[in-house]
Chains A and B, each alone.
Chain A
Amino acid sequence: MQVAQAIVLPRRLRAGARRSPLAAAGLALLIVFALLAVFAPLIAPYNPVAADSAAIVQPPSAVHWFGTDANGMDVLSRVIYGTIYAFAIALPAVAIAIGIGVPVGLMTGYVGGWTDESLMRLFDALRVFPSIILALAVVSAAGASVLNVVLVLGVLDAPVFARLVRSEVLALRNGSFVECAVAAGNPVRRVLFVHLMPNTLQGTFAQAAVRASWAVRLSTTFAFLGLGIQPPTPEWGAMIRQGAEYMVTGQWWIGVFPGAALILLALALNMAGDGLADLLDPRRRSAG
């Protein structure tokens, strides 16, 4: 039984890949980035924080494929190591957003009434607030660190998941297996987590990948603005910031390469997210 399932899964992946080449490409790209992050010390040609004052702002060459930056550090190595930071920020941030948003969405969607109204208005207020200002406030109060950036991003994104899960709950709440579960005598906790949650997660997966790409972009924005991570840490946002100054004078490589990496990762996350949600739907198992 288990063996049969193991054989079937790769076939299903291939079938899924054929159905949506875009999702397959996204997933493949994500895997490449993940490998880069995991094996960075083995792949990167240079130490990313080794400053070489003799080789400042060198254009791309055979020695430095992506050139060097203002401190003489190899851009390629910094882009590769930057992958670690991208994942290290995006993944926990999304995990926190889901960890807060999903239970809240489940509860408010199910209970309704004043709890629902007040929490949703609170979340609306959070969404309307410009995230940059909020991040500035938090970071200036608590200090600039990876942890703080992750927390801010997580909390800022929680309302998205809450709203998503809430709308699924509202759709499922009446006249369906939920009513049946209540009639069978399930306590509220079981109705929410055993019955409702697995059926609302599909949308969550697709959204998670999209929010992860947002998290990456937001964190690079923070770094770009001088919040959060500071140079010489090889983080793409910080690198783009430095590179922006040099764009005017024609030294494009310092900013363009990390920028391209950012775009590619965000794209990969978006594309893969859609495909993943599709693949996980048990209803497709018996289709056709």
Chain B
Amino acid sequence: MTLLSVRGLHTHFVTRDALDQVRTAHVLNGVSFNVQAGRILGLVGESGAGKSLTMTSVLGLLRPPARVVAGEALFQGRDLLRLSQSEMARLRGNRIGFVVQSPKASLDPLARIGEQLVRVQRAHRSISRRAGQERAEAMLAAVGIPDARRRLRAWPHEFSGGMAQRAVIAMALINEPELLVADEPTTALDVTVQAQILDLLAAQVRERGIGAILITHDLGVVAQYCDDIAVMFAGSVVEHGRTAAVLTRPMHPCTQALLASTPERFHFGTGPRLAGPPPDLFNLPKGCLYRERCPRAEAVCQDVPPMFGDAAQSAACHFVTAGACV
């Protein structure tokens, strides 16, 4: 069952430069992907590809001068991009949970953990404080925080990084959302803790049968935890499909370059060929956005490449034929 369907999302960012000319950065250029219930979608790409921006656009968290200029995001039969701020506020924290990279950023340093969990509940439903506290305690235990009853009264600064992230996940899940969005949830954590947190996320998703989007730049995370993958470059999805398929037989040159940069596959001497200039979002090339970095670029790349493939794997490249890679 498709939980979230994003089609043709375009977001612009309007600024004035040093000479006071108006410049428009096309930060998202037609992002399209689906999230299925019970499955985790990994959204990968380098910095500036637009991964976080995609989710902030979809969740209505954009601030001017950034704004969505086209596209739709269907969730439970409604287009999120057409909803008002108050309607979106009713969905966020309630039907859609959000976990960000730095737990310190989501936790109010001046409120106890239990209080924050109760706040999130009371923002979206009428529930007594006591019932809220009880559900909070159950939730903290469910995310693996020992001695949950005592921890309700703890302050955020008393938690270590991993524990704080667990608390944030508890806050995101306590209202039983259908969709969970996690933006680099383990990047700031130690390697040995990272696996614990990802295991937790995966377990919760499976148990509850919800859908999840995991934004990351780490292909290892995607390979081990995400069922589906969407690879982004310069604000568009260049490849989309089942993780196993995409990572073992990548179709798009961008995915191939990303994989070739992972330490396991990297050989000295191939480095300089992988990275090109970062795309200038103020002056995007016509046609294929990956043109300037692609080893295979030809005249036909001046036309926008179609998304070729099926639900299992598809890529936006002229040179992709069924089942073959470039």
Contacts and interface: CB of A to CB of B under 8 A. Distances in A.
Interface residues of B, number: 7
A15 B23 CA distance: 14
B17 A287 contact: yes
Interface in B102-134: none
B20 interface: yes
Interface in A257-288: 284-288
Interface string A87-126: 0000000000000000000000000000000000000000
Contacts of A127: none
A190 interface: no
B12 to A, nearest CB: 14
Nearest to B282: A288
Nearest to B23: A288
A285 B17 CA distance: 8
Contact of A12 (B15, B16, B18, B23): B18
A19 B19 CA distance: 10
A14 B16 CA distance: 13
Nearest to A8: B19
Nearest to A15: B20
A287 to B, nearest CB: 6
B175 to A, nearest CB: 40
A89 to B, nearest CB: 36
Nearest to B16: A288
Interface in B7-36: 15-20, 23
A286 B17 CA distance: 8
B48 to A, nearest CB: 15
Contacts of B18: 12, 15, 284-288
B9 to A, nearest CB: 23
Interface string B273-307: 00000000000000000000000000000000000
Contacts of A14: 20
Contacts of B15: 287-288
A19 B20 CA distance: 8
A177 to B, nearest CB: 22
15 contacts: A11-B19, A11-B20, A12-B18, A12-B19, A14-B20, A15-B18, A15-B19, A15-B20, A19-B16, A285-B18, A287-B17, A288-B15, A288-B16, A288-B17, A288-B18
In the A-B complex, the 7 residue pairs with the closest CB atoms? A288-B17, A15-B20, A288-B15, A288-B23, A15-B19, A18-B20, A11-B19
Given A8-B19, A14-B20, A284-B18, 15 more contacts: A11-B19, A12-B18, A12-B19, A15-B16, A15-B18, A15-B19, A15-B20, A19-B20, A286-B18, A287-B15, A287-B18, A288-B15, A288-B17, A288-B18, A288-B23
Interface of A: 8, 11-12, 14-15, 18-19, 284-288
